[in-house]
Amino acid sequence: MKNLIIFLLSTFLMMISFPNKSETQIPDYTGMQGYLYDPPSGLNVEYARQYPGGRGEGINIFVIDHHFNLNHVDIDDNTENIQDIGYGDHGTAVMGIMVGEENSFGITGIAPEAYAYAISPQDPWQFEDALFLALESSNEGDIIVIEAEVPAQYNYHEYMVPAEYNVWHRQVINQATTQGRIVIEVAGNNPYHFYLDNLEEFSTYPPYTNAIIVGAGNSQGDGMWHSTNYGSRVDCNGWGENIVTCGDGHLYKPENQNEWYTDIFDGTSGATPMVAGVVAILQGIYKAKYGYTLFCDQIQELLRDPNNCSTPISGIGGRPDLKKLIKALQIEQPVTVDQRAGEYTLANEVGYWNSTIWENKGVPWHTSFDWATDQTLLADQNLVLYGTPSVNKKYHHWGTDDADKVLNYRTFHITNETSDLIAQFYTSNDA
C-alpha cells in the first residue's frame, strides 16, 4: 500500500503544471538599462556580445557585500552562496547589474554568462575573512568585487572610503592581485564629495595596491554623481544613479519579492558592478582568444587610458567603452552578414559581398588564393588583409547555383585604415 501511495503521489506531481520563467508576467526592462548601450552614457555592452566570450563566459565573480537574495528569478541560475549572513537587496542589485540572466523579461546583466558567488562579511568594517574566502575560492583570472566600505578619520570627521584603507585588507588584496585575481573596489560614498588624496593611503605613488577603484558618475556620462568619493587613485567610473536592476521593488513590486525590480539603485555601489561586468567581458574575450586571462595591473592600465573610455571626468576617470577596450586588446571583430559590403578584387577574382547576394544568389568562393598577391591588391585600395593561410577546422553552409555545399574554409578579414571590418572572404577546400 505504501508503494502504491508513493506511485500515485509521484504521478500526480508530474501532472501538475508549475509556473516557470517563460510564463512570467514580469515586463522587459532591458530598454531602460542605458548602461548597456552606446557611449558616452553606456558601456557599449551590446557591441561586445558579438565576440566569443563577450558575455563573460568562463569567468567567476566573487562579491563581498552585506545582503543578498539569490532566489531572485533573474539571478538564481547563475549565482551561488558561499557565505551569506544577511538577507536583503543591496547585493541582489549588484548581482543583477553584473550577471542578470539573458531572457525575455526583467533585466539582463552586463556579463550574463559569468557566474557570481555571494560572500557576506561577518564584521562590516573588518572583513579580511571574507577577502581570504574569496581568494581561496577563486582562480587566476577571476574577479573579486568589494562592495563594502570602511571608515576613515580626517579633520575630526569620519568618511567612508575604499576597503584597502585598512592595512589588513590591503595585505589580502595585494596577495590576491599577485595571484592573478582582479580586485575591484568601490570608491565610497559620502554626503559630500570626499577627496581621497587627503589620505596618504590614496595619494601615494605607486599606489599601495593594484586593485581597481571605481567612482560614480551621472547617468549621462558627463559629470560626477553628487556623493562619490574622488581623487587620483580612482581609475574609472560607472553610473551612480537611475540604475535599473534586481531588487527593492521601486520599479516593479508584485507580491513575490523574488520578482522585484528597481530603477533607483545608485552610488559607487552601482558603478562598481558595472565595471566588474566590463572586466568579466574583457576576460571572457581574451580567454576565448588566447586561452588565458589578463592580470589586474594590465586591466587597470587599460581602464585608466583615456583612449579606451568616454570623456574622462576629473577625479573619477573615464567610463569604459568596450569597443575601444577590445580594440586595445588587438582582437579582430567577428564578421556578420550586414558587414559583408563592397566589391574587392582578389587574385583576379571578384567577390560580391552583400546581404542580397548572400540570401538569394549564394556567396562565391575562391578555388585558389594567393596570399602575397591579394595583400598587395588590397593595399592599393587602402585596405588591409588579416588572416592566416592555415585551414580553420570549421564548416560553413551556403548556396551557389542553387546547390548547397559544405566547405572546410579559410577565413580572411579585410579592414580599412581605422580597423573597421569591411568584409570577410572564404577560400574553399573541398570537404
* Residue 110 maps to a domain: yes
| Full DSSP string of 125-150 | S--HHHHHHHHHH--TT-EEEE---E
Output DSSP code: residue 309.
B
Beta bridge partners of 157: 154
Q: What is the CATH number of the domain that holds 296?
A: 3.40.50.200
Residue at which a domain ends, from 305, 328, 351: 328
Please give the pLDDT value at position 13: 36
**Domain range for residue 251?**
23-328
pLDDT computed for residue 4 by the predictor = 42
Shared domain for 127 and 91, answered yes or no, is yes
pLDDT tens digits, one per residue of 200-216: 999 988 899 999 999 99
47 pLDDT tier (thresholds 50, 70, 90): very high
Query: Are 183 and 83 part of one and the same domain?
Result: yes
Least confident of 28-37, 190-199, 245-254: 190-199
The whole-number average pLDDT for the span 302-325 is 96
Residue 347 lies inside a defined structural domain of this protein = yes
pTM above 0.85, yes or no: no
Please check whether residue 5 lies inside any domain of the structure. no
For residue 416, the model assigns a pLDDT of: 47
What are φ and ψ of residue 70, in 5° steps? Answer: -85, 5
Cβ proximity of 207 and 185 under 8 Å: no
Q: What is the pLDDT, as a whole number, of residue 87?
A: 79
Q: What confidence category does residue 411 fall into, taking pLDDT thresholds of 50, 70 and 90? A: very low
Residue 410's pLDDT band (cuts 50, 70, 90): very low
Answer with the one of 301, 328, 355 that is the final residue of a domain: 328
- Quickly tell me which residue has 576565448 as its cell: 288
Out of 311, 328, 345, pick the residue that ends a domain.
Answer: 328
**One domain for residues 224 and 357:** no
pLDDT for the residue 386: 46
Does a structural domain hold residue 271? yes
Return the C-alpha cell found at 340: 559583408
Q: How confident is the model at residue 431 (pLDDT cuts 50, 70, 90)?
A: very low
Q: What are phi and psi of 121, to 5 degrees?
A: -70, 150
pLDDT (mean) for 142-161 = 96
Residues 236, 365 share a domain: no
β pairing state of 212-217 and 236-239 = parallel
C-alpha span between 262 and 188 (Å, rounded): 21
The residues that bridge with 395 in the sheet, in sequence order, are 408
Which residues have CB under 8 Å from 2's CB, separation 6+?
none
**Is the domain of 253 the same as that of 107?**
yes
Query: Minimal CA–CA distance to 62: which of 149, 10, 131, 3?
Result: 131
Per-residue CA distances from 267 to 94, 283, 302, 392 (Å): 11, 25, 23, 47
What backbone torsions phi and psi does residue 281 show, to the nearest 5 degrees?
-65, -45
Exposed/middle/buried for residue 60 (C-beta within 10 Å: 0-12, 13-18, 19+): buried
Whether 4 maps to a domain, the answer reads no
Residues in the chain: 431
Q: What is the pLDDT of residue 247?
A: 96
Q: Can you give the pLDDT at residue 122?
A: 87
User: Cell numbers at residue 425, please?
Assistant: 572572404
Q: Which of 73-87, 107-121, 218-232, 260-274 has the lowest mean pLDDT?
A: 73-87
Q: Report the candidate in 385, 425, 421, 386 with the shortest Cα–Cα distance to residue 409.
A: 425
The whole-number pLDDT of residue 62 equals: 98
Task: Indicate if 316 and 424 belong to the same structural domain.
Answer: no
Q: Is pLDDT larger for residue 347 or for residue 200? A: 200
β-pairing, 157-161 vs 150-154, is antiparallel
For 153-181, give the DSSP string: EETTEEEEE-GGGSHHHHHHHHHHHHTT-
Residue 311: what pLDDT?
A: 87
Give per-residue pLDDT as tens, 352-400.
Answer: 332 232 233 233 333 333 445 445 544 554 554 444 433 322 222 233 3
Given pLDDT bands bounded at 50, 70 and 90, which one contains residue 85?
confident
Q: Would you state the pLDDT for residue 205?
A: 87
Mean pLDDT of 417-429: 43
What residue type is assigned to position 383 of the chain?
A: L
**250 within 8 A of 100, measured Cβ to Cβ:** no
**Residue 332 neighbours by CB distance under 10 Å:** 17
Is the pLDDT at 117 greater than 50, yes or no?
A: yes
150 and 219 part of one domain? yes
Q: Over the chain, what is the mean pLDDT? A: 79
Ramachandran angles phi, psi of 324, nearest 5°: -70, -40
Instruction: Based on the fold, state whether residues 174 and 224 are members of the same structural domain.
Output: yes
What angle is formed at CA 188 by the lines to CA 187 and CA 192, rounded to 5 degrees?
115
Least confident of 42-46, 67-71, 246-250, 384-388: 384-388
Q: 216 and 269: one domain?
A: yes
Cβ atoms of 246 and 261 within 8 Å: the answer is yes
8 Å CB contact between 263 and 243: yes
Mean pLDDT for 261-275 is 98
Better pLDDT: 50 or 212:
212
Strand ranges inside 182-242, DSSP E: 182-186, 212-217, 236-239
Write the pLDDT tens digit of every residue in 158-194.
999 999 999 999 999 999 999 999 999 999 999 878 9
In a domain, 11, yes or no: no
E strand or H helix at 372: helix 371-380
The predicted-structure confidence for 127-141, as pLDDT tens digits, reads as follows 999 999 999 999 999
Q: Is 10 domain-assigned?
A: no
> 3-class DSSP state for residue 102?
coil
Together in a domain, 231 and 354: no
Give me the number of domains the chain comprises: 2
Which residue stretches of 35-112 are H helix?
45-48, 90-99
pLDDT for 152 equals 96
Same domain, 306 and 389: no
Please write the tens of the pLDDT for every residue from 9-31. Answer: 444 433 333 345 655 799 999 99
Does residue 9 sit within a domain?
Answer: no
Q: Is the pLDDT of residue 70 over 90?
A: yes
What amino acid occupies position 74?
D
More confident residue, 423 or 218: 218
Return the amino acid letter for 200: E
Give the per-residue pLDDT at 348.
30
Q: Name the maximum alpha-carbon separation found in the chain.
A: 86
143-146 and 150-154 strand pairing:
unpaired
Beta carbons within 8 Å of 359's beta carbon, 6+ residues apart: none
